[in-house]
Amino acid sequence: MSEGAPGPLLGLGKTELEQWAVAQGQPAFRGRQLHDWLYSKGARSLAAVTVLPSAWRQQLAANLPPGQPDWVGRSRELHRSVAADGTTKLLLATADGLSLETVGIPARDRLTVCVSSQVGCPMACRFCATGKGGLQRSLAVHEIVDQVLSVQEVMDARPSHVVFMGMGEPLLNIDAVLSAMACLCTDLGMAQRQITLSTVGVPKTLPQLAQLALERLGRAQFTLAVSLHAPDQRLREELIPTAHAYPLEALLEDCREYVAITGRRVSFEYILLGGVNDQPRHAEALARLLRGFQSHVNLIAYNPIAEESFQRPSPAAVDGFRRILEDRHVAVSVRASRGLDADAACGQLRRRLGGSLAGDLELA
């Protein structure tokens, strides 16, 4: 194995792949061939890249870095769940035997991929299935990019949008998330405006995110979506236990600093829980909280999970909440619920099949 060999090749850009090929004693154009096969042809192994010399492929196969099962870095599909509306949830196996979820959400003129940034999540939001199992580890760049490629293969369509709204808290894996964004834009041809990063909030990280995005991506044009889910600190702490360390006022101040640095408005996500945070008084309090803020509110009807007694709000409650915000000049939309017959809530599929994963992995 040559000196300076990297980890999995997926996630590397064209220049990096050229440099790697040269370090391996090959001409630079071999790196460009690799780039084409990784990102355009979806190669899952170097053996599949038939334009490469067979002797080089055999040499590489015999000299894998310790603990690395292959050079490319693709995940293996463990399970697929398809809803009546076409929403497709994949359970993928990582090289070290863990599992993660990703979802393809089709619409008439778009395909959105919901990607995970961690295996599990440490934020412990009460309404979220992912948080029930805690955090196992953060995902590497190739494991994030692989989710987009996996959905593209399964659904035979080019993704138009990517949302970091799957398992995990992206701001606790900010380096890999930004690198994955760069790969999606530069190597898969997406625009930053087609990417959304969702966070429940980690103290002092939003201004850091803004600065790092400008340094690493050249500009910050992706959408930042901050999960509020409550119009006051008391209720927010009940729903999101980690919020006790991050007062709502401090979170909003960090959001304002993010807007000032990037010039981009913030989107606020608000999951409506029946009888808990979906009453008119909550809508009025939310409108007061966001008065004068350069923002947009995205209302989401709750998808129930077995571990909690929270209920889905009534259509009337959702519509009433929306109208109150609109009447108070708050930009608002209601996210259409998708995949309700296919373990729609984040983390549900992984938890439901968790008991069978060990056997599945042993069969690999």
Residues annotated as catalytic are 101, 346
- Give the E-state strand segments of 242-346 in sequence order: 266-272, 295-301, 332-334
Dihedral through CA 124, CA 127, CA 133, CA 137, nearest 10? -60
Return the half-sphere exposure (C-beta side, CA atoms, 13 A cut-off) of residue 290: 29
How buried is 222 (Cβ within 10 angstroms: 0-12 exposed, 13-18 middle, 19+ buried)?
buried
Distance CA 229, CA 344 (A): 18
For residue 270, which phi and psi values (nearest 5 degrees)? -140, 105
If one counts every other C-beta atom within 10 angstroms of the C-beta of residue 155, the result is 19
Q: Tell how far CA 281 is from the center of its chain.
A: 32
According to the 3-state scheme, what is the secondary structure of 27-90? CCHHHHHHHHHHHCCCCCCHHHCCCCCHHHHHHHHCCCCCCCCCCCCCCEEEEEEECCCCCEEE
Q: Is residue 295 a contact partner of residue 244, using CB atoms and an 8 Å limit? A: no
For residue 133, which phi and psi values (nearest 5 degrees)? -95, 0
Q: Facing residues of 102 across strands?
A: 90
Q: Which of 278, 256, 269 is nearest to 332 (CA)?
A: 269
Q: Is residue 231 a contact partner of residue 289, using CB atoms and an 8 Å limit? A: yes
